[in-house]
Structure 1
Amino acid sequence: MVQTNKLENIDTLTVHNAKAALVQGFDAINAGQTVFDFGSVKVADSSAVAVLLAWQRAARTAGVVLSYVNLPVSLKSLAALYGVDAFLVDTPANLHHH
């Protein structure tokens, strides 16, 4: 069964909370979560892209593949701008509901 981290307590992912989000994600990955749901995230800046890439590196080191659902358009746009959108796989949420 796929474990999803819903990021419910994060409605913004910016420079102001990036470090806390980074740690939360690392803890989630270490606990076996492989899907991060960004449905509650309304505001994101370039720090969010760095956080997601760090989570991807941690997951790769742990031998798992991460996917993201409900990525905000602003975050997708930033990832595309930086040329890293291929590393941030946005999977349709309905693929993870069984």
Structure 2
Amino acid sequence: MLNVTAPGAASLAGRVDMASCAGLVRPLTQLAAQGPLRLDLSGITSADSAALALLLSARRAAEGAGHALTLSGMPAGLATLAGLYDLEPLLRAGD
């Protein structure tokens, strides 16, 4: 689930997997393209490689619009998955 928590801030929560990502791609990429975005991932309870694709799509949308995307609270399982695909530099969490 994607929640806008404040201007320029949002969070992802629950399962972020192949089944849920289809409904998250468009709203998240649009949000990332609107302006700088801090995305809190600490509410993710489980994730698969589709979550990585979702975050990379958001990163591309933000960068394409000239905005920053800052990730925080990346769950250990998602960080491990990012490591397996050598994606840490692209998905490095912010402060």
Please indicate the TM-score interval, normalised by the length of the shorter structure: 0.7 to 0.9
2:27 counterpart residue number:
24
- RMSD of the alignment, in Å? 1.5
Alignment pair present for 1:64 and 2:87: no
TM normalised by structure 1 equals 0.82
**How many Å separate the matches in 2 of 1:50 and 1:12?**
14
Match of 2:10 in 1: 5
Number of residue pairs matched?
89
Runs of 4+ in 1 over 3 A off after TM superposition: none
Deviation at 1:30, TM superposition (A): 3.4
Q: Give the CA deviation at 1:33.
A: 4.6
- State the match for 1:96 in structure 2: none
Identity of aligned residues (%): 26
Q: Distance in 2 between matches of 1:18 and 1:33?
A: 21
Q: Which has the higher strand share?
A: 2
What secondary structure is seen at the aligned counterpart in 2 of 1:68?
Answer: strand
The match for 2:57 among 54, 74, 77 is 54
- Secondary structure of the 1:12 match is strand
Paired with 1:30 and 1:47, the residues of 2 have a C-alpha distance of 20
What does the per-residue CA deviation read over 1:51-70, in whole Å, with 9 as the maximum and x for residues that have no partner?
A: 11111111110001211110
Q: Partner residue of 2:3?
A: none
